[in-house]
Amino acid sequence: MSIYFYETDIGKIGIAEKNGRITNLYFPNGNWPQDMEIYEAPILKEAAQQLQNYLVSNLTNFFLPLEPGGTVFMKQVWTSLCEIPYGKTVSYKSVAEKIGNPNAARAVGLANNRNPIPIFIPCHRVISANGSLVGYRGGLELKNRLLKMENRHEYADF
C-alpha cells in the first residue's frame, strides 16, 4: 500500500492505494497510518487531480477504481451512496430502503461513519430524515461546505 499527501482547498489530504485501487482518503483532522510507503502512484495522482477538479466544481462524477475495506453490508451501502446524484441528498432511511433493508437506518449511519473513502464515496450526501446535517468524519462544517458547493437545493429519493 502507498499513500501520498496533497494540499487542497479543504486542507492536506492523504489518499491511499493498493494494487492500483483507491482504498482510503484521510482528512486533515484524521490520523494516517504511519507504516505505509509514501509514494505517488499514478492512480493517486489521478485521484488527486479529480479531487481538485471536484473541489472547484469542474467535476461531478469520479472515475476511479475504488476498493474500500469493510463488511458486505458496508460495501452494499457504499455502492448505493455512489448512485446519489451530484447536488442531491438522501436520508439514511432512504439508503436503507434502497438496499432492501428498510429498518437499517442506524446501520447505514454506521457504514457512513466507517466509509474509508469519503468524498469519492459521497457519504456527505446523506442527511437525517428531517433535513439536518449529522455526523461526518471530516466535520459538519466540511459536510456543509461540500453540499453547498454542490448547490444542494433538492431532496432526492433514489
For each of the domains in the chain, give its residue range(s) and CATH number, in order of start: 2-55 (no CATH), 72-155 (1.10.10.10)
* Marked catalytic residue, from 81, 111, 121, 123: 123
The whole-angstrom separation of Cα 147 and Cα 68 is 22
Q: Which residue type, as a one-letter code, is found at position 102? A: P
Q: Is the CB of residue 67 less than 8 Å from the CB of residue 120?
A: no
**pTM for this structure?**
0.91
Beta bridge partners of 18: 21
Quote the pLDDT of residue 129: 86
Q: Is the CB of residue 2 less than 8 Å from the CB of residue 36?
A: yes
- Look up 123 and say whether it is catalytic: yes
Which stretch of DSSP H or E encloses residue 49? helix 42-55
CA atoms within 13 A on the CB side of 36: 20
Q: Tell me which residues of the chain have a pLDDT lower than 70.
A: 152-158
Quote the pLDDT of residue 154: 47
Q: Which three cell numbers stand for residue 20?
A: 492500483
Which stretch of DSSP H or E encloses residue 92? helix 92-98
Eight-class DSSP state of 123:
G
